[in-house]
Structure 1
Amino acid sequence: MKWSEAVAAVRTVEVAGRGDVDVRGVQYDSRRVSGGDVFVAMRGGTTDGNRYIDAAIMKGAAAVVTDSREVFDELRERQPELAVALVEHGRRALAEVSAEVFGHPERVLKLSAVTGTNGKTTTAFLLEQMLQSVGRKCVLLGTIETHVAGVVRESEHTTPESRDVLALFYEGVRAGCTEAVMEMSSHALDQERVWGLPVDVAMFTNLTQDHLDYHGTMERYAEAKARLFAGAGAPPPQVAVINCDDPYEETMCREFCGETLMTYGVDEGDWRAEEIELGAGLTRFVWRTPQGAVRIESPLTGRVNVYNLMAAACAAFARGLTMKEIAKAAGSLKQVPGRFEVVPGSREAGFTVVVDYAHTDDALKNLIALARDLVKEQRGRVITVFGCGGDRDRTKRPKMGRVAAKGSDLVVVTSDNPRSEEPMAIVAEVLAGVRETDTACVVEADRAKAIEMAIRAAGPGDIVLLAGKGHEKVQIFADGAVPFDDVAEAARVLKSEVHA
């Protein structure tokens, strides 16, 4: 592709240099540039890509896009033959030039996108499985994993930069995919990392306190989520699937101006769950809809998964599956890693150890409530191990401490990912909430020791909850990340208990 063709798709302020050079790829990280690439230099929250333009040119960049007038003028004077474009919005330009160079794979795939505080990952996984159950090939982008036509790889971000999304879409189209399912975080929507992606079905799960270190207020957090329903550099979604049991339903609905609104819920909604039955490894309900009713039964656990199932089922219906096909798929759905994941070998020990990603007060409250229901018959206890992430919203720390203590019989406060903060300083803020109750509490900042302590304290019929990190395989400290896996740590302790 000629540079003149690629840059024609970008909203530019000014273009200079040769237009007949060949371009073969797009990069925004100078370390990944190879010969023939377009290098998009944009100012971000932590760094300025314009500082690395010379490095990109040295590695063979054929053209440069910059969002700096000063840099553009300097390049035009210093290297008049260099293909260079000045843009107002760097991230929008990255999306526009990437789409053009990759041949617009986003126009081939039907995209279903989910946003919300909790449930995004599970809903995305469930929808992908439902679509696959009728033979459709999918691309999935999410917090835990990325899938391209069934090939699994680890995810670096919940929602990558637009260039990386489009590269995965391109791979998917070449592999025969017709569907894409992705999580859209509030950060990605606010920063326009999903600019220009045409969404067919948009889903909203819920909104509870999180990421206020970035957004500042719940109102701004909600507004960022709601951008999905207005369309970000693309027409609004064809279909909106919105949880009407959530207080922020109205905010999401107000932004939506597409064709079809599907509201789901337990208390209300046009698509709702009735006659709910819950148990360990069982969720059953009647799905009452404008198209009739069908019984849904799945091996998932907990009331929260009623909502996740309904969100995915509504989206699947919008994507053309019949209610009968959805009900059949629900019966064989697989659990998402790190979402109420039972550690192998724990039940044989007479109690249950569960790993879950719950890292907000609302998610932790729901997790503990589910555990409480499951231990009722055996009169077991709920033992909760959790911490709070460093360099994140500090106001939720006492709230999480309060919620954990109110619902649990024993709380072990430990580290999550302390990042640049002192672990015990985080613990102290959590304890402010715990101490509002009379619940027994133990502090152990070393997460491995905390997990061991909780498991050794467990007795018959108890549930030990290891909350906050879920699927994560590292723990992040001020001096970097170290390997750490809650499931592996718990399995190690259980094995040592067996052989003790």
Structure 2
Amino acid sequence: MMKLDQLIEKKYIFHIGNHQKITDITNNTRKVKKGSLFIAIKGTKVDGHNFLEEAIRKGAVAVVLTDREKALNLKEKYPFLNIILTQNSRKIQAQIANKFYGDPSKGLKIIGVTGTNGKTTVTNLLLQYLETAGKNVGIIGTIHYKYKEKIFASGRTTPDSIEWFYLLNEMKNRSAEYIVAEVSSHAIDQYRVYGTRFEGGIFTNLTQDHLDYHGTMEEYFKTKDRFFQYIQETNPTGIIATNTDDPYGEKIYRKYRDYLNIISYGTKKADFIISDFEVDMTGVSFTYKYGNIKRRVRSKLKGEFNIYNIAAAFSYLISAGFDIDFLHHATEKLYPIRGRFETIENEFLVVNDYAHTPDAIEKILKSLNQIKKNRVIIVFGAGGDRDKGKRPLMGKIAEQLADVIILTSDNPRSEDPVKIINDIKSGMEMKKEIYEIIDREEAIKKAIEIAQKDDIVLIAGKGHETYQIIGDKTYYFDDLDVAKKYLKGRNLNI
């Protein structure tokens, strides 16, 4: 419980009412209770301003809004109500949540990972390295929000600011020392982590995705860059690791090299150079060079792209002061992440992977082509109500790099799955063996049925997800479980 004037600067308080003790903060009317502060957020589909009176009826004693006319009406109708008027409710929400939960980032070492692809893997690798070093580590990301054995929730890549600061506080109270977190472009743009003191951040890459939200690649990059600007402004000793093989990562390096503790990783001119890649079904091996140290290391992680993910975490931790010998030996113990190059080995190989962007599809297919003995069969679709421009690019890449393509549904949401498939096909020449099977289970079944000895079946797009969104309903669906079902039907070992 906190007093209103402890949570918000007086300049934002439009009207002082009664009951200035705040017991809870929320932007969801279903969670409002007596003594709540309700924050009206205007989203892309729902406007919280339409639920203000419902929140008041349920017991909210204070509200945050951006509509002055509504503020005047509420003042007249509810003189007991505390009204906060702002131009940016998301930013104010972050400030309030941070104060309500006691500024929890103080005393924590929080590492944010951003980029189009690799965020989930890199955060999980950081988790493994740090736990191997005996640290208490929490993780906030796409698969789940977790500290040790306690799973708080699973959901968006980065939660909204209320849940974010709640999680930081909960993990801190349970003795967490480090938090590793995925920081999405939406989270940066919507102030979800605003007010957090980050120890540092990692930039993995930037390729086409989310242009339905950002509009252009430059705007997408500017949003990512705001995260590193924020680190520069709030933590002069902040650490950055950036992939300088990526042109946007190179921009990050050039911009911040004189201001922050920055380390570059990549195959070309970099502080942490990776080279001589070898990829097979047992994992990867590569040489790294850092200063005068040059060594070769092996990891059980599969796929060439995972060398970059390892380099991201490894190089960051070098800059954070971890011993390079420790990191070298810990790399050999790293284990794979759920839904990332997850495999079932039989007379043919089944690979389950989250790849759902052109770049990710290209990287996983190239890795599979390096180890294939026969054909590569890919099953994939594209998410509905998301960046449509990437669909033909995904189709083009799949046709170039796979031998058999099975187009299906991903999470179609409100879109017609047939239209999504047609968008994918618009980038294809339709010269390979191609199937169109809308039902995702039937598509996976088809892939298992036609697979021959030494083929590789790649089921792409959903990875760790255990659901499928069709229309406005969410159904249980696990790609790997479906694959096992039909492997069993062929009397193959699973």
Alpha-carbon deviation of 1:490?
0.1
Alpha-carbon deviation of 1:476?
1.3
Residue number in structure 2 paired with 1:397: 391
Provide the C-alpha distance between the structure 1 equivalents of 2:4 and 2:392, rounded to a whole number of angstroms: 56
TM-aligned CA distance change 1:471 to 1:12, over 3 Å: farther
Q: Which moved more, 1:14-23 or 1:314-323?
A: 14-23
Residue number in structure 2 paired with 1:198: 197
TM-aligned CA distance change 1:242 to 1:232, over 3 Å: closer
* Letter of the 1:491 counterpart: K
Q: 1:463 aligns with which of 456, 462, 466?
A: 456
Residue number in structure 2 paired with 1:131: 130
Residue number in structure 2 paired with 1:87: 86
**Cα deviation 1:295-346 (Å, max 9, x = unaligned):** 4321101110110001111222233321122122212212111111113xxx
Provide the C-alpha distance between the structure 2 equivalents of 1:83 and 1:453, rounded to a whole number of angstroms: 60
TM-aligned CA distance change 1:236 to 1:45, over 3 Å: farther
Is residue 2:381 matched to residue 1:380?
Answer: no
Provide the C-alpha distance between the structure 2 equivalents of 1:364 and 1:397, rounded to a whole number of angstroms: 11
Residue number in structure 2 paired with 1:370: 367
Provide the C-alpha distance between the structure 1 equivalents of 2:149 and 2:127, rounded to a whole number of angstroms: 10
> Where do residues 205-224 of structure 1 align in structure 2 (5 Å cutoff)?
205-224=204-223
Provide the C-alpha distance between the structure 1 equivalents of 2:351 and 2:199, rounded to a whole number of angstroms: 35
* Letter of the 1:307 counterpart: Y
| Counterpart contact for 1:240–1:258, Cα < 8 Å | no
Residue number in structure 1 paired with 2:280: 279
TM-aligned CA distance change 1:394 to 1:447, over 3 Å: same
* Letter of the 1:29 counterpart: N
TM-aligned CA distance change 1:244 to 1:250, over 3 Å: closer
Provide the C-alpha distance between the structure 1 equivalents of 2:120 and 2:322, rounded to a whole number of angstroms: 21
Residue number in structure 2 paired with 1:451: 444
Provide the C-alpha distance between the structure 2 equivalents of 1:248 and 1:163, rounded to a whole number of angstroms: 31
TM-aligned CA distance change 1:71 to 1:149, over 3 Å: farther
Residue number in structure 1 paired with 2:340: 339
SS of corresponding position for 1:310: helix
| Counterpart contact for 2:244–2:253, Cα < 8 Å | no
> Where do residues 36-435 of structure 1 align in structure 2 (5 Å cutoff)?
36-231=35-230, 235=234, 238-253=238-253, 256=256, 258-290=259-291, 292-343=293-344, 347-348=345-346, 350-375=347-372, 379-435=373-429
Provide the C-alpha distance between the structure 2 equivalents of 1:431 and 1:178, rounded to a whole number of angstroms: 48
Alpha-carbon deviation of 1:83?
2.4
Alpha-carbon deviation of 1:228?
1.0
| Counterpart contact for 1:195–1:232, Cα < 8 Å | no
Alpha-carbon deviation of 1:72?
2.3
Q: Which moved more, 1:213-222 or 1:50-59?
A: 50-59
TM-aligned CA distance change 1:11 to 1:245, over 3 Å: farther
Q: Which moved more, 1:302-311 or 1:50-59?
A: 50-59
| Counterpart contact for 2:13–2:82, Cα < 8 Å | no
| Counterpart contact for 1:195–1:234, Cα < 8 Å | no
RMSD: 2.1
Unpaired stretches in structure 1, ≥5 consecutive residues: none
| Counterpart contact for 1:67–1:89, Cα < 8 Å | yes
SS of corresponding position for 2:426: helix
* Letter of the 1:391 counterpart: D
| Counterpart contact for 1:283–1:298, Cα < 8 Å | yes
**Cα deviation 1:409-440 (Å, max 9, x = unaligned):** 1111111111111111111221222326x321
| Counterpart contact for 2:232–2:260, Cα < 8 Å | no
* Letter of the 1:242 counterpart: T
Alpha-carbon deviation of 1:249?
2.1
Residue number in structure 2 paired with 1:6: 6
SS of corresponding position for 2:298: strand
Output the TM-score relative to the length of structure 1.
0.93
Residue number in structure 1 paired with 2:487: 494
| Counterpart contact for 2:232–2:259, Cα < 8 Å | no
**Cα deviation 1:74-106 (Å, max 9, x = unaligned):** 222222232222222101111111111111111
Output the TM-score relative to the length of structure 2.
0.94
| Counterpart contact for 1:294–1:323, Cα < 8 Å | no
SS of corresponding position for 2:247: coil
* Letter of the 2:476 counterpart: P
SS of corresponding position for 1:433: coil
TM-aligned CA distance change 1:386 to 1:23, over 3 Å: same
SS of corresponding position for 1:117: coil
* Letter of the 1:60 counterpart: G
* Letter of the 2:269 counterpart: E
**Cα deviation 1:120-151 (Å, max 9, x = unaligned):** 11001101111111111122111111112342
